[in-house]
């Protein structure tokens, strides 16, 4: 269980810790939390007014002007991420930020940064800050990947990875969940849905008990404020920014709260900023169904290898039979201490996790998992490979609780969700016939239904910003229409469309030369393409 002990401000540690103890205090009741949120929202108004004009709120000088002590990134002998950073020439440091920007003299949070410094100092462009999305994905280890993707331009940037507040090495929160993530399916009937209502209510209660005093400050708006403190602490007048997935929302919010502070901005696998937080998952359904259909077609063409069916329809029908079998009796995957029981609330989650990209290795991995589940549905013993076991542990065991807790805290701080369980049940039943596999998953109730109102309203996009937006037509996580919508909101932007790809995460990840070369030309020269470019899947 998380440490309930309260912590006060302290100077940054010389070396980052894997999971620095967050500031924690038990919250007695949801009503008390709601009252605190209302008071905090009122107190934050002066700071919001300063941000809206690109100004700096009073009392923050000591944060913007703090000295950074750069040191090694390795935490110990079992730290491959730190070793990879140091092998790439990175150094690490910590930045102190206020927990509550309306009270800069109060409690603080320590953020972990990594940096691969520019080597071409004569032609240095500036700092390029990264965010790998999630929300809640640690980004400290991202600079080596981006450094490689930048090729000849890499030496002109300080490439900076940042674990945002309450994630990774930046005061990681942990609600002490019995599962890793809250994303589960409502299953095949009402009884399964009622179990989900109980589970999701319990997950929210655990977060209130463990880290309730931190939850109001997990929003994207507060993370955007942190980005600007990092900018100041790095000594940069403006920053460049590369955001992936949820990171595109963070980048968009930053342009609205701190106009004029961005030089070059790449928003990869862009999200519609009007549909974030608890509203995000239901919006993914069309893209997910499209990617699933393409994968099923691919698997059917390889029936001799995987035995899942000779047509897309046969593959789909077989999976639905596996889910029905799991509803009657949970599938047992693995043996001994590594065994997992997967019922109809969990099998769709494994499929959802496997539909992020359309490369042959990713599609093959999902086909192998589906074949394994089909064997388990017949009552046969199955032993998953190590990577599948690791995924099961992340999703369905306490091992994944810190990652799931951070993701949920950010999502619930960014938007409201209906508190009425019947609302979710109606949505599930309305779409069950057309979307029997993923509808009950994406429309299911979640902890935000029991969370309480966010401390601040979402950030409206009213200011133009120059950015290069990347969107794949078949993205299963960030629907293509979201990238189009963001482009419309930012008339000064350009939209790069990758045609024919069911892929989430493009630059430096997918290996499409057209995409990578376009991004590199923009980052090197600072000039957006004259028109919206189009690339094709190879």
pLDDT digits 0-9 by tens, 499-509: 999 999 999 99
Neighbours of 496 (CB within 10 A): 28
**Tokens 């930020």 correspond to what residue?**
97
Nearest to 474 by CA among 502, 495, 496: 502
Nearest to 512 by CA among 269, 263, 252, 246: 269
Annotation marks residue 245 as catalytic = yes
DSSP 272: -
Q: Looking at residues 304-318, what average pLDDT do you find?
A: 98
Nearest to 167 by CA among 207, 140, 137: 137
What b/e sequence results for 293-317 when a residue is b if at least 16 CB atoms lie within 10 Å of its CB, and e otherwise?
ebbbebbbeeeeebebbeebeebbe
Q: What is the pLDDT of residue 50?
A: 55
Q: Looking at residues 330-340, what average pLDDT do you find?
A: 92
Q: Looking at residues 415-436, what average pLDDT do you find?
A: 96
Domain definitions of the chain by residue range: 284-399+413-450
Collapse the DSSP code of 29 into the 3-class scheme (helix H, G, I; strand E, B; otherwise coil) and give the result: coil
Q: What is the pLDDT of residue 80?
A: 87
Token pair belonging to 323: 């889910």
Neighbours of 486 (CB within 10 A): 26
pLDDT of 185-220, one tens digit each?
Answer: 999 999 999 999 999 999 999 999 999 999 999 999
pLDDT bracket for residue 146 (50, 70, 90): very high
Q: What is the pLDDT of residue 57?
A: 67
Contact at 8 Å (CB) between 235 and 259? no
DSSP letter for each residue of 70-109? -B----STT-HHHHHHHHTT-EEEEEEEESSTT-TTS-EE
Q: Looking at residues 402-412, what average pLDDT do you find?
A: 97
Percent of residues in the chain assigned helix, strand, coil, to nearest 5? 45, 10, 45
Q: What is the pLDDT of residue 87?
A: 94
Q: What is the pLDDT of residue 41?
A: 36
Q: What is the pLDDT of residue 76?
A: 81
pLDDT of 242-290, one tens digit each?
Answer: 999 999 999 999 999 999 999 999 999 999 999 999 999 999 999 999 9
Q: What is the pLDDT of residue 162?
A: 97
**CA–CA gap between residue 486 and residue 446 (Å, rounded):** 26
Neighbours of 239 (CB within 10 A): 24
Neighbours of 502 (CB within 10 A): 26
CA-based angle 379:383:386, to the nearest 5?
Answer: 150
The answer, yes or no, to whether the previous bond of 135 is cis (omega within 30 of 0) is: yes
Q: What are phi and psi of 83, to 5 degrees?
A: -65, -40
Of 109 and 19, the structure prediction assigns the larger pLDDT to 109
Instruction: From the candidates 275, 343, 504, 516, give the one annotated as an active-site residue.
Output: 504
Nearest to 115 by CA among 152, 141, 77, 134: 141
Q: Looking at residues 309-335, what average pLDDT do you find?
A: 97
Q: What is the pLDDT of residue 63?
A: 98
What b/e sequence results for 27-48 when a residue is b if at least 16 CB atoms lie within 10 Å of its CB, and e otherwise?
beeeeebeebbeebbeebeebb
Q: What is the pLDDT of residue 55?
A: 54
Q: Is the pLDDT of residue 292 over 60?
A: yes
pLDDT of 159-182, one tens digit each?
Answer: 999 999 999 999 999 999 999 999
Q: Over the chain, what is the mean pLDDT?
A: 90
Q: What is the pLDDT of residue 138?
A: 94
Q: What is the pLDDT of residue 43?
A: 36
**CA–CA gap between residue 170 and residue 217 (Å, rounded):** 14
Q: How many percent of the chain have pLDDT more than 90?
A: 86
**CA–CA gap between residue 56 and residue 492 (Å, rounded):** 25
DSSP 20: P
Nearest to 372 by CA among 328, 318, 336: 318
Q: What is the pLDDT of residue 161?
A: 98
Q: Looking at residues 128-140, what average pLDDT do you find?
A: 96
Q: What is the pLDDT of residue 75?
A: 85
pLDDT of 341-375, one tens digit each?
Answer: 999 999 999 999 999 999 999 999 999 999 999 99
β-bridge mates for residue 98, sequence order: 108
Neighbours of 185 (CB within 10 A): 27
Neighbours of 382 (CB within 10 A): 19
Q: What is the pLDDT of residue 490?
A: 98
Token pair belonging to 104: 């800069």
**CA–CA gap between residue 73 and residue 67 (Å, rounded):** 18
- The region that residue 511 occupies, defined by phi over 0 for left and psi between -120 and 50 for alpha, beta otherwise, is left
Neighbours of 435 (CB within 10 A): 18
Collapse the DSSP code of 257 into the 3-class scheme (helix H, G, I; strand E, B; otherwise coil) and give the result: helix
**CA–CA gap between residue 57 and residue 439 (Å, rounded):** 44
**CA–CA gap between residue 81 and residue 92 (Å, rounded):** 12
Instruction: From the candidates 174, 475, 502, 516, give the one annotated as an active-site residue.
Output: 475
Distances (CA, A) of 158 to 90, 115, 119, 231, 330: 10, 6, 9, 12, 50
Report field, pTM of the whole predicted structure over 0.85: yes
pLDDT of 450-491, one tens digit each?
Answer: 998 999 999 999 999 999 999 999 999 999 999 999 999 999
Q: What is the pLDDT of residue 81?
A: 87
Residue count (the chain): 538
Give Cβ neighbours of residue 333 (< 8 Å, ≥ 6 apart). Answer: 339, 340, 341, 342, 372, 373, 376, 382, 384, 392
Q: What is the pLDDT of residue 56?
A: 59
pLDDT of 222-251, one tens digit each?
Answer: 999 999 999 999 999 999 999 999 999 999
**CA–CA gap between residue 21 and residue 420 (Å, rounded):** 34
Alpha helices (H) along 212-264: 220-233, 246-257
Annotation marks residue 423 as catalytic = no
Token pair belonging to 362: 């990713």
**CA–CA gap between residue 274 and residue 252 (Å, rounded):** 11
Neighbours of 177 (CB within 10 A): 23
Distances (CA, A) of 121 to 69, 124, 154: 20, 5, 11
Instruction: From the candidates 219, 245, 269, 345, give the one annotated as an active-site residue.
Output: 245
pLDDT bracket for residue 338 (50, 70, 90): confident
Q: Is the pLDDT of residue 3 over 90?
A: no
Annotation marks residue 294 as catalytic = no
CA-based angle 17:505:407, to the nearest 5?
Answer: 45
Give Cβ neighbours of residue 257 (< 8 Å, ≥ 6 apart). Answer: 51, 52, 221, 224, 225, 228, 459
**CA–CA gap between residue 161 and residue 295 (Å, rounded):** 33
């Amino acid at each position: 269980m998380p440490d309930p002990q309260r912590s006060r401000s302290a100077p940054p540690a010389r070396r980052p810790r894997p999971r620095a103890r967050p500031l924690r205090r038990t919250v007695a009741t949801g009503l008390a939390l709601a009252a605190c949120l209302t008071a905090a929202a009122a107190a934050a108004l002066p700071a919001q007014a300063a941000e809206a004009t690109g100004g700096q709120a009073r009392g923050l000088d000591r944060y913007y002007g703090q000295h950074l002590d750069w040191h090694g990134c390795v935490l110990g002998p079992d730290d491959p991420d730190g070793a990879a950073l140091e092998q790439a020439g990175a150094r690490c440091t910590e930045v102190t930020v206020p927990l509550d920007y309306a009270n800069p003299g109060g409690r603080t949070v320590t953020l972990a940064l990594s940096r691969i410094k520019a080597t071409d100092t004569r032609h240095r462009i500036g700092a390029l800050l990264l965010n790998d999305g999630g929300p809640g994905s640690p980004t400290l280890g991202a600079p080596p990947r981006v450094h490689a993707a930048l090729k000849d331009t890499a030496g002109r940037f300080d490439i900076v990875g940042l674990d945002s507040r309450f994630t990774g090495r930046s005061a990681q929160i942990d609600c002490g969940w019995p599962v890793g993530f809250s994303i589960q399916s409502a299953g095949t009937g009402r009884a399964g849905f009622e179990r989900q209502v109980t589970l999701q209510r319990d997950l929210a209660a655990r977060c209130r008990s463990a880290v309730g005093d931190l939850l109001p400050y997990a929003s994207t708006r507060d993370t955007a404020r942190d980005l600007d403190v990092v900018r100041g602490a790095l000594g940069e007048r403006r920053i460049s920014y590369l955001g992936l997935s949820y990171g595109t929302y963070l980048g968009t919010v930053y342009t609205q709260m701190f106009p004029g502070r961005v030089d070059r901005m790449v928003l990869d696998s862009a999200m519609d900023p009007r549909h974030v937080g608890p509203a995000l998952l239901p919006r993914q359904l069309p893209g997910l169904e499209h990617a699933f259909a393409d994968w099923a077609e691919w698997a059917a063409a390889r029936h001799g290898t995987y035995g899942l069916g000779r047509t897309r329809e046969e593959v789909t029908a077989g999976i639905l039979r596996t889910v029905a079998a799991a509803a009657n009796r949970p599938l047992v995957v693995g043996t001994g201490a590594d065994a997992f029981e997967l019922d109809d609330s969990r099998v769709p989650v494994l499929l959802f996790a496997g539909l992020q990209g359309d490369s042959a290795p990713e599609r093959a991995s999902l086909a192998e998992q589906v074949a394994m589940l089909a064997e388990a549905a017949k009552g046969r013993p199955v032993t998953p490979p190590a990577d599948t076991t690791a995924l099961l542990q992340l999703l369905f065991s306490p091992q994944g609780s810190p990652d799931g807790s951070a993701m949920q805290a950010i999502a619930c701080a960014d938007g409201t969700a209906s508190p009425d369980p019947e609302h979710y049940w109606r949505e599930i039943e309305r779409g069950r016939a057309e979307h029997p596999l993923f509808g009950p998953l994406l429309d299911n109730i979640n902890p935000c239904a029991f969370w309480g109102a966010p401390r601040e309203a979402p950030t409206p996009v009213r200011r133009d910003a120059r950015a290069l937006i990347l969107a794949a037509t078949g993205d299963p996580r960030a629907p293509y229409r979201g990238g189009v919508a963001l482009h419309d909101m930012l008339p000064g932007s350009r939209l790069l469309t990758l045609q024919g790809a069911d892929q989430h995460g493009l630059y430096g990840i997918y290996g499409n030369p057209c995409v990578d070369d376009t991004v590199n030309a923009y980052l090197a020269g600072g000039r957006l393409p004259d028109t919206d470019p189009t690339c094709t899947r190879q």
